[in-house]
Each structure stands twice: as structure tokens, then as C-alpha cells.
């Protein structure tokens, strides 16, 4: 963990990373994706769910699959699936405290939209602590774990990968970061699609509690 004291770029995924997957926020997003697919393709919800899952595995996101196969309006999709109720999310004072103590730039890197990221981080009370939100639109709708968005992020912020860490719950999304020279931290998520490849060497650290992990990093730095 001492290597993390040298980090100057902290890159965070959003969903199921900055907040716990137990909140079921992303479950709402997933249900909206199913509804969108059902509406657009005129199929029942069961069929739509199968298509949604199939596209996620084939194209890395359902959105990417819908763009490639059905030429949908990507912004319309993002607006629809992120129109969810997150009023139950509470301010995360511990996360706020530990994020403030981190040295260097803090950036959100998400396959979702900037609007969704802002909504979530405002509810958590951490929206003012990030230098940028690098979303799927910034990536030209090319999702993680394809290498292009990582390269775009590095180029935009002049990131030295050796001084960077990516924090993410979906294990496969950490592989490109590791191969570029970044450190990687996996937020444990028991969903099969998130934990696949979670025992691979491209994951440097694992934690089930982001705030507590960052607290340990900050305590080492202060020692």
C-alpha cells in the first residue's frame, strides 16, 4: 500500500464504486435499460433483458450494442436509463473526509453520463471534490474496458500512468489500466459480471469499503 502514497492521479469509477452496490442504485438503471430495449425493439421485458445482457457481454455495454445494432440515439438512451430515484442516498461524510485528504487530481471515469454522475455525487456530498467527470460521451460512446477511452483520459489530463490508480468494481475494467502502468483497486462486488476475472494479477488491491481503504492510505501518508 506504500506505493499509493506516490499517486498523483486518482481515477474513480462511479456506480457501485463511490457508493455501495447494496444501495441498489444501479439496479434501477438496469431495469430502465431493460424497459428501453423493450420499448425500442417492441419485445417483452423477458426478451429485452436477454438482449440487454447479451449486448453487455458482446459489446461491453448495452448502449454500445444498441448503437451498433439498432442505430439508436445514445443521448436519448442515457437520459432514459438515468432517470431514476436516488433521493434515498445519504451524504457520505467519511468518503468526503478521505477524498479531501488525497493528494493530486481526482477524476470520475464512467461508462454512464456526466448528468448521472453529478446527480449521484451531489447526493453523496462529494461533487465539489472532483477535478473532472470523464463520461461515455467524452469517450465517443466507446466503453471501458476497450483501450480507447483510457488513452483519451490519459491524454486529456496529461496523466503519467505510473503515478495513477484506477478504482473500479468491475474487474475486467481494471486490466487496461494495469497494462498501461497504473495501480488498480477493486471494490468488491459479488455480481457475476463484476467479479469475473477478479482473481487475476492485474488487480493490485481489493476492498469492500472505499472510505476505510482511503483512510488507511491517508494514515500512511501522515505517518
pLDDT in tens, 136-176: 999 999 999 999 999 999 999 999 999 999 999 999 999 99
Q: Which residues pair with 109 in a beta bridge?
A: 134
Residue with the bigger pLDDT between 220 and 66: it is 66
Is 181:174 a contact under the CB 8 Å cutoff? no
Is 5:220 a contact under the CB 8 Å cutoff? yes
Q: In whole angstroms, give the CA distance from residue 189 to residue 176.
A: 19
Mean per-residue pLDDT for 78-93?
A: 96
Going along the chain from its start, the domains and CATH numbers come out as 2-19+89-222 (3.40.50.1000), 25-81 (1.10.150)
**Which residues contact residue 223 at a Cβ distance below 8 angstroms, ignoring those fewer than 6 apart?**
none
Spell out a b/e string for 206-223, using b for 16 or more CB atoms within 10 Å of the CB, else e: eeeebeebbbebbeeeee
pLDDT band at 222 (very low <50, low <70, confident <90, very high): confident
CB atoms within 10 A of CB 160: 12
Interval 39-73: pLDDT, tens: 999 999 999 999 999 999 999 999 999 999 999 99
Interval 103-121: pLDDT, tens: 999 999 999 999 999 999 9
Model pTM above 0.85: yes
Mean per-residue pLDDT for 188-207?
A: 93
- Calculate the average pLDDT of the chain: 96
pLDDT band at 223 (very low <50, low <70, confident <90, very high): confident
Amino acid at each position: 500500500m506504500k506505493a499509493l502514497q506516490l499517486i498523483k492521479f486518482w481515477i474513480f469509477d462511479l456506480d457501485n464504486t463511490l457508493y455501495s452496490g447494496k444501495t441498489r442504485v444501479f439496479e434501477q438503471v438496469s431495469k430502465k435499460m431493460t424497459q428501453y430495449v423493450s420499448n425500442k425493439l417492441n419485445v417483452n421485458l423477458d426478451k429485452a433483458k436477454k438482449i440487454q445482457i447479451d449486448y453487455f457481454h458482446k459489446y461491453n455495454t448495452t448502449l454500445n450494442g444498441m448503437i451498433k445494432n439498432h442505430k439508436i440515439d445514445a443521448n436519448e438512451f442515457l437520459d432514459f436509463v438515468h432517470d431514476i430515484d436516488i433521493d434515498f442516498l445519504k451524504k457520505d461524510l467519511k468518503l468526503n473526509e478521505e477524498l479531501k485528504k488525497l493528494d493530486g487530481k481526482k477524476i470520475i471515469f464512467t461508462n454512464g453520463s456526466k448528468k448521472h454522475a453529478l446527480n449521484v455525487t451531489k447526493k453523496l456530498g462529494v461533487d465539489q471534490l472532483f477535478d473532472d467527470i470523464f463520461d461515455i460521451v467524452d469517450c465517443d460512446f466507446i466503453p471501458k474496458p476497450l483501450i480507447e477511452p483510457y488513452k483519451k483520459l490519459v491524454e486529456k489530463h496529461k496523466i503519467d500512468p505510473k503515478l495513477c490508480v484506477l478504482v473500479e468494481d468491475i474487474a475486467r475494467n481494471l486490466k487496461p489500466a494495469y497494462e498501461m502502468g497504473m495501480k488498480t483497486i477493486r471494490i468488491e462486488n459479488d455480481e457475476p459480471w463484476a467479479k469475473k476475472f477478479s482473481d487475476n494479477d492485474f488487480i493490485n488491491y481489493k476492498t469492500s469499503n472505499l472510505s476505510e481503504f482511503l483512510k488507511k492510505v491517508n494514515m500512511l501518508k501522515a505517518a
